[in-house]
């Protein structure tokens, strides 16, 4: 009998230890160093601190890396100079690389949901950068949707989780209204990685639709996602929202893929009351 109690106690101890290790991991998932404080997020403070906001010069419209604009206003990349995007402005907290990329992957692919609170704070900073440009009316916040098959497989939409966290942090006194039902992804799409620009556009063409156009007619919309990579998906969503009647679409993401080489830019600056336009590169 005593041996039975010992075996039972040992099993319970092992089960408790396994559960504790699952809820409160011992090592940082990014660098492997031991975690000194109990946390449901398996990432050490040092790794989190090594995820700084974008500090390079960026396009005033899409957020792409630019040649240094020095003391000028409204610099634009070559792409935004040639084709006006369907969104008014896109901004992101950080560059999609290193620890920030790995943290996003922990949320998306390993369902480590405590990462959403940290990433939500980053998204709130991107939204705060846009806030001065928002109109006076209540702003609709729309997360980029997943297809129902992907949603069923993953169990959550990371864009919606991040949007909820960010809105709580930004506050905005009720001026931001999250609505995850407005935009629908009606067919699955393949990964955009490795596709040409034309193939990326074809990949998302017709994939999205506005379910309730009456709710966005004449209103400004903040489109939210975890990552701005090629911009094709976000541009398609913004185009669909504008076609359905949105007066203006803003884009905020946690991270953005920045091109390795700085892009040529267009500079808009005022000189003696006139708007002067110059192209660099």
Confidence at residue 133, expressed as pLDDT on a 0 to 100 scale: 94
Confidence at residue 260, expressed as pLDDT on a 0 to 100 scale: 72
As a whole number of angstroms, the distance between CA 194 and CA 191 comes to 8
As a whole number of angstroms, the distance between CA 49 and CA 36 comes to 16
Residue pLDDT, tens place only, 39-49 = 889 999 999 99
Residue pLDDT, tens place only, 225-273 = 999 998 999 999 999 999 999 999 999 999 999 987 655 555 444 433 3
Beta strands in 42-100 (DSSP E): 76-77, 89-95
As a whole number of angstroms, the distance between CA 259 and CA 272 comes to 35
> How would you label 99-108 residue by residue, b for 16+ Cβ within 10 Å and e otherwise?
bbebbbebbb
Calculate mean pLDDT across residues 70-95.
88
Per-chain mean pLDDT for the chain: 84
Confidence at residue 206, expressed as pLDDT on a 0 to 100 scale: 84
The CATH code of domain 51-280 reads: 3.40.50.2020
Q: What is the token pair recorded at 3?
A: 């041996």
pTM over 0.85: no
Domain ranges (residues) in the chain = 1-47, 51-280
As a whole number of angstroms, the distance between CA 126 and CA 167 comes to 11
Residue pLDDT, tens place only, 136-160 = 899 999 999 999 999 999 999 999 9
Q: Output the DSSP codes for 126-147.
A: HHHHHGGGS-SSPEEEEEPPPP
Stretch (H or E) spanning 172: none
- Show Cβ contacts of residue 29 under 8 Å, excluding neighbours closer than 6 positions: 42, 43, 102, 106, 112
Does 38 have pLDDT greater than 90? no
Calculate mean pLDDT across residues 121-134.
96
Q: How many residues in total does the chain contain? A: 281
Calculate mean pLDDT across residues 62-88.
84
Stretch (H or E) spanning 152: helix 148-154
Confidence at residue 264, expressed as pLDDT on a 0 to 100 scale: 57
- Show Cβ contacts of residue 101 under 8 Å, excluding neighbours closer than 6 positions: 255
- For residue 103, CA distances in Å to 34, 44, 111 come to 17, 11, 11
Calculate mean pLDDT across residues 182-207.
80
């Amino acid at each position: 009998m005593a041996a039975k109690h010992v075996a039972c106690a040992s099993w319970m101890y092992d089960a408790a230890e396994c559960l504790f290790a699952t809820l409160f991991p011992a090592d940082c998932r990014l660098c492997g160093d031991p975690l000194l404080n109990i946390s449901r997020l398996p990432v050490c403070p040092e790794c989190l601190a090594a995820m700084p906001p974008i500090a390079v010069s960026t396009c005033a419209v899409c957020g792409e890396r630019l040649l240094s604009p020095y003391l000028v206003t409204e610099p634009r990349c070559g792409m935004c100079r040639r084709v006006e995007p369907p969104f008014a402005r896109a901004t992101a907290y950080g560059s999609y690389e290193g620890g920030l990329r790995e943290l996003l992957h922990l949320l998306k692919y390993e369902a480590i949901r405590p990462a959403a609170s940290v990433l939500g704070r980053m998204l709130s900073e991107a939204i705060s950068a846009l806030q001065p440009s928002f109109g006076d009316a209540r702003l609709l916040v729309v997360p980029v949707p997943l297809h129902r098959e992907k949603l069923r497989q993953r169990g959550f939409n990371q864009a919606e989780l991040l949007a909820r966290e960010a809105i709580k942090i930004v506050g905005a006194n009720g001026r931001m209204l999250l609505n995850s039902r407005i935009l629908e992804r009606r067919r699955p799409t393949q990964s955009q990685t490795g596709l040409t620009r034309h193939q990326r556009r074809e990949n998302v063409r017709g994939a999205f639709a506005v379910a309730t156009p009456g709710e966005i007619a004449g209103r400004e919309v903040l489109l939210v996602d975890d990552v701005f990579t090629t911009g094709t998906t976000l541009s398609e969503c913004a185009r669909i929202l504008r076609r359905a009647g949105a007066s203006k679409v803003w884009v905020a993401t946690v991270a953005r893929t920045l091109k390795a080489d700085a892009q040529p830019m267009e500079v808009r600056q005022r000189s003696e009351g006139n708007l002067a336009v110059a192209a660099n590169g």
